Amino acid sequence: MTVTEDQFRKTLGLFPTGVTIITAPQKGGQDIGITISSLTSVSLSPPQILFCLSKHSKTMPVFKASPYFAINILSESQSHLSDGFARHVPMEWEKVDTYRHSATGCLLIKDTLGYIICEKGAIYDGEDHEIIIGKVLDLEVISSASPLVRQKGQYLTTQSIHIEPAYELTYRKSSSF
């Protein structure tokens, strides 16, 4: 069976993912940022993450050269930032409220849910993407707001559901047995 790109995108689009903007400082140039949903933890000890980036991305040379990067975890009110950093034209930093991580110089976006600062580790070939590993150096939870989520090409928010824990369930005894 041959899997088409369209089938692959539609099927993986069923899986909801959080939305981040990953930034990296560029020596002698403007900081870069890109919207990324392909983020996952790799290891708890030591703490490591990975994300995937297209080999054709204009930001790839900066991520390869920079020793550090920052993962900004977006809140439900930041879809405009996600859209802005997802475009092929670089986002205008003057329109984004930011500050710098003191130890690494990575650009952090204000009002996110939190951030993760990483030292770049290995970069692996993933066919049309690169798989970038980051060793977590610092992180902070900033807000308890709802996260920005993407599924089927649309932004969503999360909503808690109440599920009775299995140990609290009570069973009716029936005398009809």
| 133 against 30, higher pLDDT | 133
Is 97 in contact with 111 (CB distance < 8 Å)? yes
**C-alpha angle 50/106/148, rounded to 5°?**
55
At 172, is the pLDDT very low, low, confident or very high (cuts 50, 70, 90)? low
Residue 63 structural domain: 5-168
Q: Answer yes or no: is 174 within a domain.
A: no
* pTM for this prediction: 0.88
At 45, is the pLDDT very low, low, confident or very high (cuts 50, 70, 90)? very high
Gap between the Cα atoms of 137 and 108, Å rounded: 14
Tell me: pLDDT of 156 over 80: yes
Gap between the Cα atoms of 173 and 168, Å rounded: 16
- Tens digits of residue pLDDT in 77-130: 999 999 999 986 667 888 899 999 999 999 999 999 999 999 999 999 999 999
Instruction: Residue 144: give its domain's CATH number.
Output: 2.30.110.10
The β-bridge partners of 135 are 48, 119
Tell me: pLDDT of 176 over 60: no
Going by their DSSP bridges, the two strands 17-18 and 149-151 should be labelled as antiparallel
Q: Answer yes or no: is 130 within a domain.
A: yes
Q: Answer yes or no: is 176 within a domain.
A: no
Amino acid at 18: G
Q: Name the domain count of the chain.
A: 1
Percent of the chain with pLDDT over 70: 92
Q: Answer yes or no: is 173 within a domain.
A: no
Q: Answer yes or no: is 154 within a domain.
A: yes
What number is the average pLDDT over the span 37-47? 96
Q: Answer yes or no: is 33 within a domain.
A: yes
Q: Answer yes or no: is 177 within a domain.
A: no
pLDDT of residue 29: 78
pLDDT of residue 95: 86
